[in-house]
Every structure is written in C-alpha cells, then in structure tokens.
Amino acid sequence: MYLRSVARTPYLLCAGIWQHPQWLSKRRQSGCCHYKAVIFEASGVLLPSPYKIATDWEARNCIPAGTIQQAILSGGGNSPSLKYTRGELTTVEFLQELGQQCFEMMVESYREGMHKSDPRIYKLCLERLGVQPQESIFLDNSSQNLKAAAQLGIKTVKVGDLEVALKELEIYLGFPLQGFVPYTRSVRPSAEIPKDHLQKYLENVLGDHARGPLVLRQFGHGQSTRTYFIKFGDRLLVLKKELSDSLCPSGPAVRREYRVLKALSEAGVPVPTVLALCEDTSTLGTPFYLMEHCAGRVYRDVSLPALQPSQRRAIYAAMSQVLSKIHSVDLRAAKLEDLGEHGNYIQQQVETWTKHYQAMETHVIPAMERLIEWLPLHFPEYQKTTVVHGDFRMDNLVFHPDRPEILAVLGWKLSTLGDPISDLANNCMAYFLPPHFNALRGLRKCDLGHLGVPTAEEYSQMYCGHMGVGCPENWNFYMAFAFFRLAAMLQGLHKHSLTGRPAPGESSREDTEFVANLAWEFAIKEGFRVFDSLPTAKPLARCYSTWARRGPFLRRSYGTWPRPGAALVPKVPLVTPPTSLLGMAQGLYCKLEKIMDIQWGFLISQPRWTPRPLPELKAESARTKPVALMMTAKAMDQDSQVSGAEHLSSADPSLVLHLDLSSMSG
C-alpha cells in the first residue's frame, strides 16, 4: 500500500493515488479500508510552506525579509523554487512519515480555469486518478473547499491541528504513517514469523555490522511465497519465504530463485543482491533467502499517467532492453544450463497449466476447451532456449526515481530455461487488457500515440532489435499461449475464492472467461495466418464419407467422423474432381490438404487418441451451389454419444471456410 510522487506549490491542488496491493481486496469485502486516493491542497496545509520556512529563517538570522525569495527566484528554470514546484526537492518533515515517492499527480486549478471551491476541480482529480468519490479522501483547512468536495461524495478531513489530522487519516487508511515503507503493510496475523528466531539468524549472518531493533513489515504481493521488509540496524533487507502450500502449479522453490538471482547478478542483469539462503526449516518453518532492499519506483499502471509522453516511451525502451539482456545471458558461463529442459518449454507449460486448469475448473469455458485441443496442434517447430523470467511485466520492475533506468527485476518464481518469445508475449498482454482489469492494468482502447507509449508491434520490434532477430511469424500463437496461461491462473484464484480459502489476489468467473476468449481470438488469427501462408499445389484426390447439418457458420457444415458403429466407407472419387473446380477453389482445396496432413500426423502420434478419417471436400456444384469446406482436429471417441453436429459446433472457426463459387469470376 503506498502513496506516490509529490508536488509542492501554493497554487496547486495535489492528488495522490494509492494503489492497493492484492490483499486489500479481501479487506474491502469485509468492510475495512476501501480508500484508493488522498487529495489535498499543497499550500502549506499538509506540506510545510517554503515561504514560511524562509521567512522564519530570515527573522531568526536578522536577514531582510524577502531576501531568500528574491534569491531563489533568480535561478531560471533550475531555480530551487521551480524544482520545489516540480517535486524535485523533498520536504523532510512530511516524507519521513509517508515514505519517498508518495504522490502520483498534480492538478493546477488556475490552469484549468477553476477555483478550488468549484466541485468540478475535484471531479477532474477523480477522473485523472481513475477512482470513485467514495474511494477518496480530501484534506484541507478551508470549510468552503471541504464542502465542495463533500458534494461529490468524497470523504473529507479538516486540517486544524496537523498531528490530529494525520492521526485521523491513519484511521481511514488503516495503516500507520509513521515508519511507512512504500508497497508494504504491517504483517498479517496469518503471516507472522518468530522475530526472535529471525533476529538471531540475522546476527549470525550479518555479524557485528548490524545491531539494533528489528522492524518487520510485509509486502502485499506474492502467490507462492511471502515477502517481508526488514530494517535491522542500518541495513534494509528483503526476506522471501516459501509457503507450506502454493497456488502455483510449478510450486515454490526459493533455493532455485536464489540460484537464479545470484547467477544473473554476476552476469550483469539488474536484480536484487542476494545475501544468504536458509533451508533449515527450524528457523522460520520453511526455507527462505535474504536480499538487499532495492529502493526505487514501481509502476502499477502501464499507461504511466504521471509521466510525459517522451518519458513513457523511454520507460518502455528500458523495459525491452532489460528483457533482451535476460535472454542474452550465456547459460554456460552463468552455470545455468541445467536450470530446465531445452527445446520443449511451450509443450511443458501447456501440459502443466492444462492440468492446473482442469483441477481448478468450476464451470465449462468453451474457449478453454478449444485452446486445450488447439495449442498442441500448433507448437512452434523450433524454440530457442534462454533464461526466461516467466512473469515479465512492468510491475515486476523497480525503476530509478528520476531516470528511465531499471534498478532491479523482481518476481522470479516462474523462472526457468525456455522460449524467450513467451516472455515477450507475456509482457505484451497489457496492450489487450482494459485499463482497470483486476489482474493486470492494461492499455486496451487507449490512445497510445497521445500517451507516447509504443504500440505492441513497435515494442516487439524494440526487443527484436536488441536481440538482433526478426519478429516471429507465429506471434499470434505466443499471445494465445500467454492468455491461456493467465486464464488458468485466474481460474485457480477464482476457485480458491469460492472455497473461502485466503488467496493473495482476486479473480471472477467473468475475468477468466474474458481472458480465455482473448486467447481464442489470437488462436483464430493464427489459424488464418497458417492457412493463408500455405502454398497451392495439385492435390491427390481422396474422399471420406460425410454427413451434414445446418450450422451457425456455414450454409451447410460437413463433418467427417462416421456415425457410432458405422463402418468406414472406402475411398471413392469426388462427385466433382478438383481439376474441374475454379482456380480459387482449387487453391483452397490444396491448402486444406496440407493442413489435413499436419493434423493427421499429430493425431496418429498421440497414443491416447484414436485416429479417425479427416475432412475432405464435398462439392455439390461448381457454379450454382456453394461449396462448404470444413476441417477440425477434434477426435471422436468410439464410445462417445455426442453427435457429429455437436462436434461441428465446437470446431475451430479459424479453419472453417465458406466459399460461394457463384460469386467468383473465372
């Protein structure tokens, strides 16, 4: 839980967005703190006024009044006054309580053409922060301003005595401001660890260099591990500890993560510096490791609302460069060659997450059922093997407060050896998700040109330029895979929320279905790409028995499975031979022939599937009647009582083609 960046000037209305960690969603459901933003007027109400400080200093030191003001205004664009206005100078008295990088944005009321007693200025703050009135708190010493904000439904706090106002704010926020560390909260009762054991361990590891009281706080993220902030003497540390059970199918492994971080640090990848690994469960109950705390800025909103367009593009450029640096690590030199298997990462991931999804299934999601069958049919023929992060996204990166520089990459619990393009696809999911999606804030329907954010294609080209490779042709497959995996994760969270078990995130049935449908949309695009890329050549004539029904996609839809118990019909010549079809129809026929060969080869290679005759063309008339072409990779079990019509309704629409020959010219 945190507040961000800061703006200080008597003429500004400041709004500080505070983004909840995932645990807070549970508290909201139980009626606890639900506030997301704190808004206040910065003319000395909460932040000390620089002019008052200067005046007091002049009086104490017998300096003519106004001397300091004239001096600081003479520095041009880099004057202390303007730096203070832009938020480049800290106000120690306030930032020591709230932590650094506290506030997200500022709204200049005079530039908006409104007074601070006008409710519209507060409405503008809410719109730019993306929060509702009831999710906001406004602090001011003016009763008129407070009344204007309250008209919109904003919770108000009158600032008479500053200490009293801050105490009242603490009550509403639900955490103490004194000693606050960004992105942390007090340790939950269910996550408490024996501090005496921890202190003894720290004394042994750090020696005499760290003495003093132990301060322990908890970070608000982590699905398979718990992460704690530690202040011990003058050392700021992070402890990452395994849970006894995990929502992640791959399972937690702090030893593996510790090894990866140590190796990547030595290879020049920006990661936190690891200090020690403890696998003795008698210390804290489960294995854990220590690393240095990396102070910086974490962007939860990929639209980067507090930055300028040029800054946003620089942030994305830095992100693509660090991703390429991870994928360029020499496995032999880093001694990570045995971190995972080589060449079959996608296959393993699809199998793992399919099992996870099926174990967590609460209701049938048609798109997931199709993807479970579609993905194995389209695995990449070649997969490069590198270190992969497994969950590479913007909110797993710590940025320098003032520069577009990444100080540390976090969240390595899914790291292994695998296909680097899967990391890139995972990183690009935000482009297709809505801005306020529960699992991950996205950029869907945002004006990227206006924001200065590169498009998904431009971002991919940035990455490929760093890697010295071209963009993959089967990009849509990787996006389908990325969203399939996310849907499986969300389904797990949804299942746990239904059972009442505590989960670090929240997900709904609608969220899972939305992501699954996104994955299927990319699968359809990939299906059409494969079909369009196939060359045309004269095929061999062959035919199987077919039967038809009216379908939602075609005037007539054809299936190629025999009815249960029916004998296979021997090959016979087509009613209309391929050579008599029009040129375009012959081309489509040839492409289908090639796809059928691919599908057939896959089916007979799977021991759990029984091969069945695959689709063929049935032409009723070359000129007066439509020709329907239908193919599907779905196998039909001999004992299944599901009709062929139901099979057709679930067929891959990317491979369903309707061709009206009467609309073609010779």
Q: Between residues 641 and 533, which one has the greater pLDDT?
A: 533
Q: Which of 12, 314, 258, 295 is nearest to 181 (CA)?
A: 295
In this prediction, residue 306 carries a pLDDT of 82
Q: What is the mean pLDDT of residues 567-579?
A: 50
d(CA 47, CA 628): 72
pLDDT tens-digit readout, 486-540: 999 999 988 888 876 655 556 788 999 999 999 999 999 998 888 888 776 544 4
Q: How far is CA 146 from CA 37, 43, 115, 218, 407, in A?
A: 16, 15, 13, 34, 40
Q: How far is CA 394 from CA 1, 301, 314, in A?
A: 17, 8, 13
In this structure, the chain runs to a length of 666
In this prediction, residue 627 carries a pLDDT of 35
Helix (H, G, I), strand (E, B) or coil at 202: helix
Q: What is the mean pLDDT of residues 564-592?
A: 58
Q: Between residues 75 and 260, which one has the greater pLDDT?
A: 260
Q: List CB contacts of 61: < 8 A, sequence separation 6 or more.
A: none
pLDDT tens-digit readout, 442-496: 999 899 999 999 999 999 999 999 999 999 999 999 999 999 999 999 999 888 8
Helix pair 366-374, 345-360: axis angle to 10 deg: 150
In this prediction, residue 48 carries a pLDDT of 55
Please determine, for residue 335, whether its predicted confidence score (pLDDT) is greater than 90: yes
In this prediction, residue 93 carries a pLDDT of 32
pLDDT tens-digit readout, 365-411: 999 999 999 999 999 989 999 999 999 999 999 999 889 999 999 99
The pair of three-digit structure tokens given for residue 581, joined into one six-digit string: 């079809």
Residue 173: enclosing H or E segment and its boundaries? helix 162-173
In this prediction, residue 502 carries a pLDDT of 52
HEC assignment per residue over 120-167 = HHHHHHHHHHCCCHHHEEEEECCHHHHHHHHCCCCEEEECCCHHHHHH
Given pLDDT bands bounded at 50, 70 and 90, which one contains residue 568?
very low
Which residue has 């609309």 as its token pair?
663
The pair of three-digit structure tokens given for residue 90, joined into one six-digit string: 């800290």
In this prediction, residue 267 carries a pLDDT of 96
Q: Between residues 143 and 455, which one has the greater pLDDT?
A: 455
For 6-153, where are the E strands, in sequence order?
13-17, 37-41, 105-107, 136-140
In this prediction, residue 223 carries a pLDDT of 53
Percentage with pLDDT > 70 across the chain = 61
Q: List CB contacts of 568: < 8 A, sequence separation 6 or more.
A: 544, 545, 562, 613
Q: Do residues 306 and 104 make contact, with C-beta atoms less than 8 angstroms apart?
A: yes
Bridge partner list, 658: 628
Q: Between residues 557 and 293, which one has the greater pLDDT?
A: 293
Q: Between residues 597 and 357, which one has the greater pLDDT?
A: 357
DSSP string, 370-387: HHHHHGGGG--S----EE
Among 2-16, 184-198, 533-547, name the one with the lowest average pLDDT: 2-16
Please determine, for residue 253, whether its predicted confidence score (pLDDT) is greater than 60: yes
d(CA 607, CA 359): 22
In this prediction, residue 338 carries a pLDDT of 94
Q: What is the mean pLDDT of residues 79-100?
A: 41
Given pLDDT bands bounded at 50, 70 and 90, which one contains residue 288?
very high
Bridge partner list, 140: 158
In this prediction, residue 658 carries a pLDDT of 37
Q: What is the CB neighbour count within 10 angstroms for residue 140?
A: 24
Among 358-372, 440-454, 625-639, name the one with the lowest average pLDDT: 625-639
Q: What is the mean pLDDT of residues 285-299?
A: 91
Q: List CB contacts of 381: < 8 A, sequence separation 6 or more.
A: none
In this prediction, residue 109 carries a pLDDT of 63
Please determine, for residue 620, whether its predicted confidence score (pLDDT) is greater than 70: no
The pair of three-digit structure tokens given for residue 390, joined into one six-digit string: 């497994």
Q: Report the chain's mean pLDDT, rounded to a whole number.
A: 74
Please determine, for residue 553, whether its predicted confidence score (pLDDT) is greater than 50: no
Q: Do residues 629 and 595 make contact, with C-beta atoms less than 8 angstroms apart?
A: no
For 372-473, where are the E strands, in sequence order?
386-388, 397-399, 406-409, 416-418
Please determine, for residue 268, whether its predicted confidence score (pLDDT) is greater than 80: yes
The pair of three-digit structure tokens given for residue 479, joined into one six-digit string: 């996006």
In this prediction, residue 26 carries a pLDDT of 37
In this prediction, residue 560 carries a pLDDT of 40
Given pLDDT bands bounded at 50, 70 and 90, which one contains residue 595?
low
Percentage with pLDDT > 90 across the chain = 38
Please determine, for residue 548, whether its predicted confidence score (pLDDT) is greater than 80: no
What's the DSSP call for residue 569? P
Return the ∠ at Cα 613 (arms to 612 and 619), rounded to 5°. 150
Q: Which of 488, 486, 477, 482 is nearest to 523 (CA)?
A: 477
Q: Between residues 165 and 266, which one has the greater pLDDT?
A: 266
Single-letter amino acid code for the residue at 366: P
Q: How far is CA 462 from CA 100, 210, 359, 500, in A?
A: 32, 44, 38, 44
In this prediction, residue 106 carries a pLDDT of 61
Phi and psi (nearest 5°) for 260?
Answer: -65, -45
d(CA 69, CA 642): 84
pLDDT tens-digit readout, 12-71: 344 443 433 333 333 434 344 578 888 876 555 665 555 666 676 667 667 677 766 665
Please determine, for residue 554, whether its predicted confidence score (pLDDT) is greater than 60: no
Q: Between residues 553 and 285, which one has the greater pLDDT?
A: 285
The pair of three-digit structure tokens given for residue 84, joined into one six-digit string: 């203070």
d(CA 345, CA 336): 15
Phi and psi (nearest 5°) for 245?
Answer: -135, 170
